[in-house]
Amino acid sequence: MAKGRNKRGGNLATATANTPAAPQDGPVEGIYPIDTGTAELERDHYSPTGWLLRINDVPSSHVDLAAPGHLDFEYMRWIAALIRSRFNPGQIEANGHKLRALHLGGGACSMARWASVTYPNARQVVVELDGKLAALVRAWFDLPRAPLLRIRVGEAGAVLATLTDATRDLVIRDVFAGDQTPRDLTTLAFTAHAARVLDETGLYIVNCGDTPALENARREAATIGAVFKHVAIVADPTMLKGRRHGNVIIAGSNAPIPAGPEFIRELLGGGVPAQHWDDATVRAFARHSTAV
């Protein structure tokens, strides 16, 4: 649920016995010990240059070595659509602005790779709790180097609290322990720190994993709505009707969140068509939940 793919079974201990000791020239299939458990790297059977990363047997990220702008997970495509809608790539480049992005939760740095192609001059920081995973991802996927992309090892809340006010255009929170985001990363205090480090037109985006009851999404929408003047949701209609487990993308900003015709067409045109809820709809959805 957390990362938009089905969990695969299998004997983890047996697979580990065949794992390469360390990455050599790029990715090598296998199961690698990391600080928080195990990372399994598996070839994408549908793409000769695609790779799937599982953390503790839960799908975490997908990377296409030949196409860094490709996003395989639908929820990441929805995040990308929200970002492009707010930060038009052509206008950003024409204005000479270097998009300042903070990614809380690294995985294989799929969103950061996408942003580095979409906004070539972007300055990005990825915060990843697991130092061994960060080193493996650097070795496997030929990520842009500093100052274009820096990976900072640390806990998301602790790092966020240290950052300077109004120094980011974009903050993405995509942190999971198993299939849940740690509760301390969903609070009013954490969200207020995200708002603090964003500039006046900055955009905060979270990936919220939830059940059909949608309790997490309602609570997070209430919390983000209490901190930001504008809030929006993107998810597939079946999820929003409470019929399955899945991902709900929630965005907050102190500037209006654009949702023009091109943005809506993009959401409807994906492999899993998505629905957009505007500020009024999100606040009605969350009206009986309490920000925490």
Q: Which two tokens stand for residue 15?
A: 């697979």
Where do the structural domains in the chain lie, given as residue ranges? 12-64, 74-285
Strand partners, 249: 207, 234
SS3 content of the chain, % helix, strand, coil (to 5): 35, 30, 40
In the chain, what is the straight-line distance between the N-terminal and C-terminal CA atoms, in Å? 23
Q: How far is CA 137 from the centre of its chain?
A: 16
Alpha-carbon span 78 to 265, nearest angstrom = 12
pTM for the whole thing?
0.92
By the 8 A CB rule, do 37 and 87 touch?
Answer: no
Per-residue pLDDT of the chain (292 residues; tens, 9 = 90+): 445 333 222 333 333 434 454 455 689 999 999 999 999 999 999 999 999 999 999 999 999 999 999 999 999 999 999 999 999 999 998 899 999 999 999 999 999 999 999 999 999 999 999 999 999 999 999 899 999 999 999 999 999 999 999 999 999 999 998 788 999 999 999 999 999 999 999 999 999 999 999 999 999 999 999 999 999 999 999 999 999 999 999 999 999 999 999 999 999 998 899 999 999 999 999 999 988 8
CATH topology of domain 74-285: Rossmann fold (3.40.50)
Q: Which residues contact 26 (CB under 8 A, 6 or more apart)?
A: 65, 139, 140, 142
